[in-house]
Structure 1
Amino acid sequence: MSERILVPVDGSPLSKRALEVACDEYGTAEITALHVIDPTEPGYSIFGAEYDPTTAPRYGSEAWYERAEELADELFEELHTVADEYGVSLRTETVVGRPDREIISYATDADVDQIILGSHGRSEESRLLLGSVTEAVAFRSPVRVSLIR
């Protein structure tokens, strides 16, 4: 049985780098890219996606969730291109919830062997610290976590 690797992705450069590392170092493993749509922070789910509350669908509406799914699909298209460059077959999953909890839950339920996660703080002041999602996953994960900087 091959190793199962989970790569949480939010579209940030470091999450894409985490996928590259997974593909390069664990190309024969079963690699899953997991994207979490965070209903508590409308602009957080996809890194770099512009969220303008005056023009975006009403937060929490069916249209908002549909747009979040569209952004996730666009992200997965990019990630499949990355995986193809390494000759790796990539599984993708989208879930809704609080990112740290959903990542840990998925890792547990899918019997994941390792999580490879981009590590970043959202502000310059927290440069030396982990991002809050990364920190929660790193300290609460039931499996090994590799942080990519």
Structure 2
Amino acid sequence: MSKHILVPMDGAPLSEKALEVALSENDDAEFTVLHVIDPADPGYSYPIDVDVTREPLHGSEAWYDRAEDLADDLFAAAQETADDYDVELETELAVGSPARVIVDYATDHDIDHIIMGSHGRDEESRILLGSVTETVAFRAPVRVTLVR
């Protein structure tokens, strides 16, 4: 029976590294990459640095369209990484509070393991855990591996 591994990705370097770790250390597993559009935090939903004064109005239809387009780009890049391991990824896009969505997804979809970046900032940050990661680590119903 293969494991089902969830890799939440926000476009930060550590989420990309988490995907590489997941793929390299887990033969014969199923992988789902989850990206969450956070309507409460306009910067979180974009996997790139944004200038919120120049982007579409937060919460507008154009903003959601842009967030979905950027998620498609994130999923394409994740699949390119997975291609190196001859793995086909399942991708999921959700809207909501990232930590809550990740925990609920793991609960509702028979996830065996979550592998995620320790925080969404650059790799040189001295912060140990980001707020999303901390919440997932303490509330997830399954094993969580944090990649730094």
TM-score between the two structures when normalised by the length of structure 2: 0.93
Q: Please give the alpha-carbon distance, in whole angstroms, between the structure 2 residues aligned to 1:31 and 1:122.
A: 24
Aligned to 2:134: 135
Amino acid at match of 2:15: S
1:1-149 alignment to 2 at 5 Å?
1-53=1-53, 55-120=54-119, 122=121, 127-149=126-148
Unpaired runs of at least 5, structure 2 = none
When residues 86 and 123 of structure 1 are mapped into structure 2, their CA distance, relative to the original with a 3 A threshold, is closer
Amino acid at match of 2:45: S
Amino acid at match of 2:95: V
Task: Count matched residues.
Answer: 147
Unpaired runs of at least 5, structure 1 = none
CA RMSD of aligned residues (A): 1.7
Q: What do the CA deviations read for 1:67-88 (whole angstroms, capped 9, x no partner)? A: 1000000011110000001111
Q: Please give the alpha-carbon distance, in whole angstroms, between the structure 1 residues aligned to 2:26 and 2:42.
A: 33
Amino acid at match of 1:80: Q
- Asked whether the 8 Å contact 2:36–2:101 carries over to 1, the reply is yes
- Asked whether the 8 Å contact 1:8–1:117 carries over to 2, the reply is yes
Q: Report the 3-state secondary structure (helix = DSSP H, G, I; strand = E; otherwise coil) of the residue aligned with 1:47.
A: coil
Task: Report % sequence identity.
Answer: 61
